[in-house]
Copies of this chain bind each other. A is one copy, B any other.
């Protein structure tokens, strides 16, 4: 039984991590932490767990942690996380970190986009980017996994076969994506107040979204050469899901059937990536760890559509998939 601590358990990714571990046959929750003002019985913080989880969410006490847990799912926000991860590693835990703090290998890029000095450059090189479909072997032995951002997960799975095969112009990628509102976190705000967001749709983060350099870095690693991505996110009136519609310029001729075959072959062994013969829907993946993809040729471009649940394959589900891999378990445990 893998003993799981969730650090920063009081937000949406904490809740989905709890939900998944409760269904996991070979892992159990042992320790849940949050800021003091967000602590309390799990069933009070999250009424959906009433009668399902008897734990308390408590302020983090590192002294308790050693020997108590095997792995930490670290759901802290960007910038905060790198203050905690070194201590979690020192306490002997494996760490799957949900923040961006260990995703960007280039400290300068991190510091430019996150406007803060990186304070844990010692552990940064050890961190493995936790996209199992592309980096499974490195994840196996890792102590520290940087769980990918939600948008990069959807985008990278969608373009990886094209990048790997060198089929597209590497500076031609446009990622037009729409997220559900759980992606904005649980703190109330004017933009996401129900009467503002309901029946609404709008773009945000124009030219400035922090997932852009993350996508470009990993896409470059996959391609073996620099990749440029214009990433434009939007917020849509639904809870869960990201639909990425990605436009690329093919190098040569391409047709939809060949693309379908390429994608099916590329992901043939992957449990959580499914290639469709038509456009995916966010509702079909909501609540699951699956990514649905369809690629088509349209008017001389390749258009790839991918759908994931931003909280599952885009966060908690992928983290637990990574945890399963680290511990040599069946990768699908808790995620069926």
A195: contacting residue among B12, B52, B282, B299, CB under 8 A: B12
Give A248 Cβ to nearest chain B Cβ, in Å.
Answer: 11
Roughly how many angstroms separate A217 CA and B283 CA in the complex, as a whole number? 35
Roughly how many angstroms separate A262 CA and B5 CA in the complex, as a whole number? 36
**Could you tell me which A residues sit within 8 Å of B by CB distance?**
12, 22-23, 25, 47-48, 50-52, 174, 176, 178, 180-182, 184, 186-190, 192-204, 206-207, 228, 230, 232, 234, 236-241, 243, 245, 247, 271-272, 274, 276, 279-288, 290, 292, 296-301, 303, 305, 307, 336
Roughly how many angstroms separate A282 CA and B237 CA in the complex, as a whole number? 11
Instruction: Enumerate chain B residues within 8 angstroms of A206, measured Cβ to Cβ.
Output: 279, 296, 298, 303
Judge whether A276 and B199 touch: CB under 8 Å. no
Judge whether B193 and A186 touch: CB under 8 Å. yes
Judge whether B241 and A207 touch: CB under 8 Å. no
Instruction: Enumerate chain B residues within 8 angstroms of A207, measured Cβ to Cβ.
Output: 296-299
A285: contacting residue among B48, B181, B284, CB under 8 A: B48
Judge whether B51 and A290 touch: CB under 8 Å. yes
Judge whether A178 and B236 touch: CB under 8 Å. yes
